[in-house]
A = this chain, B = another copy of it.
Amino acid sequence: MAKVASRPTTNRMMSIDDPREARRIIRGGEYDGHTAGIAPEYVQGNLCILPRELATDFAAFCQRNPKPCPVIGMGAPGDPALPDLGDIDIRTDVPRYRVFKDGKLTDEPADIRKYWSDDLVTFVIGCSFSFEAPMLQEGIRLQHVDRNTTVPMYRTSIDCVPAGPFRGKMVVSMRPLAPADAIRAIQITSRFPAVHGAPVHIGLPEAIGIRDIMRPDFGDAPEMKPGQLPVFWGCGVTPQVAVESARPRICITHKPGAMLITDKRNTSLAAL
């Protein structure tokens, strides 16, 4: 029901600048769409909730793979609050969730109160929305924003450093840029290590195992214009791939695009 019912509220949500107000609406079950463009000055995060016995290994996986898996918040075991990121109840404050049991998607609920237990640990992982904002502010045009599509993402041949049962290839997002913009984008995103940081690759897709740049594994196909280079950043889908391979008895993520909206300003994540 929520999916249809929510649509009329989309435009209203898009005009909300205050993350607390956006979460209040989401918490009330009045919105389950995607969160791109809502409270645009504030950090949004990828969600990954795991059982306590896997939390140390997952923390290590993220620590070893900071480009694709930058942790911006962790909950205490069993505690749905995330006070560092705002007045958040992680059981209700994301528009739509995905519940995986033994690696299989079993539910896409609007809240996870019935799944919550004292045993669960919340991880919030940085998202490229936070580094796209300063690129746009400096006048760099981003194709997927201009076209209102989802950024193309690719499975690469780059191995993540494993930790416990977590392993897999790095997933990257790609933005086509003219060389001067690419150089500036490298400088800008280097300032944001907490949200993927500098690119992991530029220019030669085949060198990282991408056979056809026009056929991404996730998101929408790009348009490669003459004079543009593909620029690749570590992507927050990477931890989901690693979690799939670990097949935890339970794992809860956000539904792609329906992220956690936090009270942290994007600018607060700049290293300098």
Interface residues of A (CB under 8 A from B): 52, 55-57, 59-60, 63-64, 71, 73-77, 83-84, 121, 161, 163-164, 187, 190-191, 193, 197-198, 271-272
Contact = CB atoms under 8 A, between A and B. Distances in A.
Contact of A74 (B55, B63, B190): B63
B76 A71 contact: no
**Protomer copies:** 2
Contacts of A121: 56
Contacts of A55: 56, 59
A232 to B, nearest CB: 17
Q: Please name the 4 residue pairs, one residue from A and one from B, whose CB atoms are nearest each other, closest first.
A: A190-B272, A59-B59, A60-B74, A55-B56
A148 to B, nearest CB: 31
A271 B70 CA distance: 14
Nearest to A61: B74
A202 to B, nearest CB: 15
B164 A76 contact: yes
Contacts of A190: 271-272
Nearest to A163: B76
B84 A64 contact: yes
Given A59-B74, A74-B163, A191-B271, 19 more contacts: A55-B59, A56-B77, A56-B121, A57-B76, A59-B59, A60-B76, A63-B71, A64-B74, A64-B84, A76-B163, A77-B164, A83-B161, A84-B161, A187-B272, A190-B271, A190-B272, A193-B271, A271-B271, A271-B272
